[in-house]
Amino acid sequence: MLLGSLFALLVAGSLASAQDYTADHNTTSIVGTWSSGTQNVVPGPGFANPAQETFTYPKASGVGYSFSDNGWYELARFRYVGNSSHPECIVGTVVWAHGNYDLLDNGSIILTPIGDGYQQVQSPCNKDNTNFIQDYNVTEMYASWRIFTDVTFGPKLHLFQFDGSPVAPLFRLSDQPNMLPQQKLRNNQVQVVTTTSAGFVTTETIVSKRKEARHEVQRRGWGSLWPVW
């Protein structure tokens, strides 16, 4: 009898463990505003102005995510990627995107952008273009996520990649999501997808309003640029 109910408990526990969003998995809800490191990179109007394709540069590099209770997320990222053989060729990137997130039953989280994201790349050694704006529409999927409560810093969100390694921990700045309106905020385009020799999937974008060509970089081919911050 006792053994039987113990067994039932164990079975229930192991069956539930994959999608078990108990206090053990997340000590608080994921809804809110989260930021890594020195917590200078915060999504919302203080970071990006998509209609103008501008950014307000944070004081330090890092990444921030906001999650709403109706399934919307916003990403803000500012990072440098060094070049050990040419230290002067450090590449700086600021990224903004937003869209829908899903907490999958198997514990994974997927962030699907709606296509109005953009990034500014500053690449001092790129002879063709040292400073440019591109479309940025990268779907992010993490194998799992957890929220611990740190005695000093409070709730801390960890996103784990498929190789099991955690990305930089995200500290909770607020239990409210700081974000721009949940709709398309940049007016981009008609697109033709091509693959370049470098393995990048690029999307030629015709911005009719300005009659200028843009390129969209998708995740494939990013290798060393992903996800360093």
| Least distance (Å) between residue 164 CB and ligand NAG | 10
Q: Are 168 and 63 in contact (CB under 8 A)?
A: yes
Per CB under 6 A, the segment of 6-14, 40-48, 53-61, 100-108 that binds ligand NAG is 100-108
Of these, 2, 23, 151, 192, which contacts ligand NAG (CB under 6 A)? 23
Site string (149-188) toward ligand NAG, x via CB under 6 A: ----------------------------------------
Strands 170-174 and 154-160, sheet pairing: antiparallel
Contacting residue, 49, 68, 83, 182, with ligand NAG by CB under 6 A: 83
Give the tokens for residue 41: 């990179």
> Strand pairing of 118-122 and 54-55?
unpaired
Identity of the residue, 42 or 138, whose beta carbon is nearer to ligand NAG in the bound complex: 138
Cβ contact 84:91 at 8 Å: no
Interface residue with ligand NAG among 20, 86, 199, 228 (CB under 6 A) is 86
Determine if 18 is a binding residue for ligand NAG (CB under 6 A): no
Could you give the string, one character per residue 26-55, with x where binding to ligand NAG holds by CB under 6 A and - elsewhere? x-xxx-------------------------
- Least separation in angstroms between residue 94's CB and ligand NAG is 18
SS3 state at 12:
helix
Contact 142, 160 (CB under 8 A): yes
Residue with smaller CB distance to ligand NAG, 36 or 123: 123
Contact of 107 with 26, CB cutoff 8 Å: no
Alpha carbons 195 and 187: distance in angstroms, whole number: 24
Strand partners, 73: 67, 99
Task: State which of positions 107-126 bind ligand NAG (CB under 6 A).
Answer: 108, 112-113, 115, 125
| Nearest residue to 109 (alpha-carbon basis) of 69, 160, 149 | 160
Decide: 94 and 43 in contact? Cβ < 8 Å: no
Binding site for ligand NAG (CB under 6 A): 21, 23, 26, 28-30, 83, 85-86, 89, 103-104, 106, 108, 112-113, 115, 125, 137, 139, 143
